Amino acid sequence: MASSTTDISPDSSVKAQLLEVMSSRFLPYETIVTDAVLSLDEDTVLSTTEVDFAFTVWQSFPERIVGYPARSHFWDSNKERWGYTSKWTNDYSMVLTGAAIYHRYYHHLYTNYLPTSLKSMVDQLANCEDILMNFLVSAVTKLPPIKVTQKKQYKETMMGQSSRASRWADPDHFAQRQTCMNKFASWFGAMPLVHSQMRLDPVLFKDQVSILRKKYRDIERL
């Protein structure tokens, strides 16, 4: 796997300018030679076992975003607009790229397919790049992302970081993400995000119990 934040710019001034904008996270860097991209925020805490598990799941679903922190969208009938929520519910429609694996092809689509207006909005706000990537992938696949579970909840880990916690608790930050949701949906012409309730746990995923000992022997083929 390769990191989406690999430093390949030969000129330090150009490099600094690129890294100042959020969209630089999804540039199609030539140094990414693997199909899988492991995308992590600087304060994300995952064990190597959790990374390995996410990669194993991604190998079965390479067209989707596979990761840990999940979010959801909903239609607010009172305001007649799309809403964004980080509440822990039974379903989700986004997996944030702060701890996720996806195919490097989406870097090409993000950079070359999405309009400058949306990417400029992301860069000006320094926010919503993860939402936009989820919109893009779901628009292409017509499928939801896949959430994998970890021993220590991502939310607890994230909120343990003071600088990160203040950002996520900022009402302006949350309001910006609401605005992004509706701006993105308007450009795509519809809401491409798809809800899902599937969560894959490392204890249960493709367990090693002999297929001959299972009561439902065809369950692995579902």
Give residues with Cβ within 8 angstroms of 25, minimum separation 6. Answer: 4, 5, 39, 97, 129
What is the Cα–Cα distance from 24 to 22, expressed in whole angstroms?
5
pLDDT value of residue 4: 42
How would you classify the pairing of strands 2-3 and 36-40? Answer: parallel
| CATH of the domain spanning 27-151+167-214 | 3.90.550.10
Give residues with Cβ within 8 angstroms of 107, minimum separation 6. Answer: 4, 26, 27, 28, 29, 32, 37
What is the Cα–Cα distance from 127 to 75, expressed in whole angstroms?
21
pLDDT per position in the chain (222 positions), as tens?
A: 444 444 333 444 444 554 578 999 999 999 999 999 999 998 898 989 999 999 999 999 999 999 999 999 999 999 999 999 998 888 999 999 999 999 999 999 999 999 999 999 999 999 999 999 999 999 999 999 999 997 655 544 544 454 555 565 677 888 999 999 999 999 999 999 999 999 998 876 555 555 555 555 555 454
User: 80-108 burial string, b = 16+ CB within 10 Å, else e?
Assistant: eebbbeeeeeeebbbbbbbbbbbbbebbe
- Residue spans of the domains in the chain: they are 27-151+167-214
DSSP 8-class letter at 92: B
pTM for this predicted structure: 0.79
pLDDT value of residue 214: 56
How would you classify the pairing of strands 66-67 and 146-148? Answer: parallel
Give residues with Cβ within 8 angstroms of 123, minimum separation 6. Answer: 21, 22, 23
pLDDT value of residue 202: 81
- Among all residues, which ones are annotated catalytic? 130
